[in-house]
Amino acid sequence: MLRVEGLKKELGTFCLGEINLQVEQGEYFVLLGPSGAGKTLFLEVLAGFQQADAGRIYLNGRRIDGLSIQKRKIGYLCQGDTLFPHLRVRENISYGLRIRSLTPEVIRERVEATARETSTEGLLDRDPGGLSGGERQRVALARMLVLDPECLILDEPLAGLDEILKQDILGLLLELQARGRTFVHVTHDPQEAMAVATRVGVMEGGKIVQDSPISEFKTRPKCQFAARFAGIRNFFTVEVLSSGERGSADRGRVLVLPGNASVQVTAPTHLLVDSPRFMVIDESKISLYEKGRQYIPAQNRFEGVVKGIYPAHRGAVLIYVDIGFLVTVLGRDGLLLGKDDKVVVWWPDEAMRFYG
């Protein structure tokens, strides 16, 4: 089990942390985030290439943040091609074993066993230069696995691979996870995370802004990055101004952050129990009217300006409307709307979901 407590690291103007994280034995944790979020720096701190300014790192109960890189028992796969090009595949895989004063016989046995585990037996006597991208990643993984690390940390292991090779490596990673290996896998690709993760974290600006099981990640995003991936366009951080009196006909009032304080969403009190921090509005349930049209319910009716119209699937269009905050409406193609047109937007209570 990998446990990170209060980890902080400053590098130039970038600040990583504070990070608290626990990855259980056999768990496959994927850390998602855009470029520059601090994912690689986090892995480098875990592996010991960067010293943390504060915090503690434990691996299977053993505190490792004060240990040298060589003694941490963490297998670190750097991003990109890291095979030693001047050594054959067999020598690449046995590189770490040869340091450990083992007999040639033991080294040969362990290399061959790991090669079988990673399906690289046929590559052992080849030069890395002649291998495909997928084969190279398999060998790089074998080189780590042969040392039996307590945790594997992978930095964008599928970057630069085509779809078929990606599936190939993903399959191998899943097999390894099924055998009880613990993984921390960093990527900017949510599809990749979905394929292997048992738990997903999202890093933005050096902080883990979401850490949840994979199912919750899709349905209850806690940041724009996760929401975008889950296909949720109307994701908002909110502040409940008043939740209303329970059981009464009163409605609670919610402020969308950041937004115009005069634009407040209202909701039935039962939706606002426990002061939720996030709101999702189903884009397909939002209605759009010409300005001046009568008989529109008063609740959650806002005047706005069309900011853009983009084609969506099956002849639908996505209409972005500024109502004090930007809301996305799923509309039919053929609407006689243009940019900067003034419209009225309305949604029913059942279009809203609050959580967090």
Partner 1 sequence: MRRPDILTLIFVFLGGLALLFLIAPLGGLILQSSALELMETIQDPEVQGSIWLSLWTAMGATLAFGVCAVPLAWLLARKDFPGKKIITAIIDLPLMIPHSAAGIALLTILSRHTVLGKAAEKAGISLVGGPAGIVAAMAFVSLPFLINSARTGFEAVDVRLEKTAMNLGASSLRTFFTITLPFAWRAVIAGTVLMFGRGMSEFGAVIIVAYHPITAPVLIYERFGAYGLRYARPAAIVFIGVCLVVFVILRVVAEKRH
**Strand arrangement of the beta sheet that strand 74-77 belongs to:** 74-77, 151-155, 183-187, 28-32, 199-204, 207-213
Reported in sequence order, the residue ranges of the chain that DSSP labels E, i.e. its strands, are 2-11, 14-23, 28-32, 54-59, 62-63, 74-77, 151-155, 183-187, 199-204, 207-213, 235-242, 251-257, 264-268, 278-281, 287-290, 301-311, 316-322, 326-332, 342-346, 352-355
In angstroms, the CA 291 to CA 211 distance is: 42
When asked if residue 70 is in the footprint of partner 1 (CB under 8 A), the reply is: yes
Site string for partner 1, 120-149 (x = CB under 8 A): -----------------------xx--x--
CB of residue 136 to partner 1, shortest distance in Å: 13
Query: 96 vs 268, which CB is nearer to partner 1?
Result: 96
Among 78, 170, 209, 230, binds partner 1 (CB under 8 A): 78
- Is the previous residue joined to 190 through a cis bond, with omega within 30 degrees of 0? no
Asked if 62 interacts with partner 1 (CB under 8 A), we say no
**Contact flag: residue 103 with partner 1 (CB under 8 A):** no
Binding partner 1 by CB under 8 A: which of 3, 58, 88, 95?
95
Segment near partner 1 (CB under 8 A); pick from 17-25, 70-78, 333-341, 346-354: 70-78
Site string for partner 1, 4-43 (x = CB under 8 A): ----------------------------------------
Q: Do 235 and 229 meet the contact criterion of CB atoms below 8 Å apart? A: no
Quick check: bond before 18 cis, omega within 30?
yes
* Distance from C-alpha of 291 to C-alpha of 343, rounded to nearest angstrom: 5
Which of 84, 257, 270, 333 binds partner 1 (CB under 8 A)? It is: 84
Given a contact cutoff of 8 angstroms between Cβ atoms, the answer to whether 36 and 205 are in contact is no
With CB under 8 A as the contact rule, the residue among 75, 190, 206, 244 that binds partner 1 is: 75
Q: Which is nearer to partner 1, 14 or 49 (CB)?
A: 49
Q: Which of residues 150-209 bind partner 1 (CB under 8 A)?
A: none
Residues that bind partner 1 (CB under 8 A): 47, 49, 69-70, 74-76, 78-80, 82, 84, 86, 95-96, 99-100, 143-144, 147
